[in-house]
Amino acid sequence: MTGISALPIGVFDSGVGGLTVLRALRAALPSEDFLYLGDTARLPYGTKSAATVARYAMQAAEALAARGIKCLVVACNTASSVAIPALAVRLAPIPVIGVIEPGAAAAAQATRSGRIAVIATEGTVRGGAYPRSLAALAPHAVVTQKACPLFVALAEEGWTDGPIVEAVVRRYLEPVFSGDAAPDTLLLGCTHFPALVAPIRRIVGQGVTIVDSAETTAAATAAQLARLGLQRAAGIGAVRMMATDGPERFARVGSVFSGEPIAASEVELVDL
């Protein structure tokens, strides 16, 4: 397994939102190398059909696998909701990890009242992956879903706060979090949404637990690699960034999600 364990971990998303997952992965697995692919030419995935998203996800996964990876992390909720089984079959024996189940597990553990709200893209909400996962983990939970498609556009533009952003957040979330039976847990079901956590927090209030699947996905990845004996034991890992369009914009907006500057010259333009 020595040769395989030296390979990088592949991570893909429809754009830059998955960099929040990459950030958590790097914190949990500092010795690992990563290949990150943002399919910026075809984002957003959330407004497209399940069949189209599954096809895009397969193309992105195969592009990463062709470069040599030991594990694939699907850092996109929409792709995770429709493509994980097919990806697992196509890439076997490479393990494939999505963000749905780790996020659902964290939300099920966090809720006190059993009332959980999930905000996500239209595609993720339509697919119902979060309610299914939550039903298996917490059968008596009451799950409310809300599609927030404009959140993706705001995050991709780097608009993460201010009066316009707050007005959009308020329009989406106030109806969900009003009344005595409001959820006590909010699951951010899209990797773009953590960029908007400040205005989200102001709207939902301090009493609501906000769950981001990035850290739980990173923990699930670390556990999987440990089980398979594929973790790198030492060293400082490196990251290679790839995008299918607009390296300059990817670098500019991606810096917000990654928490550190990204140089456009470091982003490789690839064609799927």
Tens-place pLDDT, residues 50-64: 999 999 999 999 999
- Check whether 2 has a pLDDT greater than 80: no
- Gap between the Cα atoms of 77 and 250, Å rounded: 19
Query: Is 148 one of the annotated active-site residues of the chain?
Result: no
* 3.40.50.300, 3.40.50.10490, 3.30.70.120, 3.40.50.1860: CATH of 101-213: 3.40.50.1860
Active-site entry in 25, 76, 239, 267: 76
Give this prediction's pTM: 0.90
* Domain 2-98+215-269 CATH assignment equals 3.40.50.1860: yes
Looking at residues 254-264, what average pLDDT do you find? 92
CA–centroid distance for 215 within its chain: 10
Domain ranges (residues) in the chain: 2-98+215-269, 101-213
Tokens describing residue 63: 């592009």
pLDDT at 234: 83
Tens-place pLDDT, residues 206-232: 999 999 989 899 999 999 999 999 999
Query: Is 190 one of the annotated active-site residues of the chain?
Result: yes
* Nearest-10 Cα torsion for 47, 51, 52, 55: 140
Are 2-98+215-269 and 101-213 the same fold in CATH?
A: yes
Average pLDDT over the chain, rounded to an integer: 94
Question: What φ, ψ does residue 235 adopt, rounded to 5°?
Answer: 95, 170
pLDDT band at 1 (very low <50, low <70, confident <90, very high): very low
Active-site entry in 190, 204, 242, 243: 190
- Check whether 157 has a pLDDT greater than 90: no
Closest CA to 109 of 77, 73, 141, 131: 141
Closest CA to 70 of 101, 51, 104, 93: 93
75 or 234, which is more confident? 75
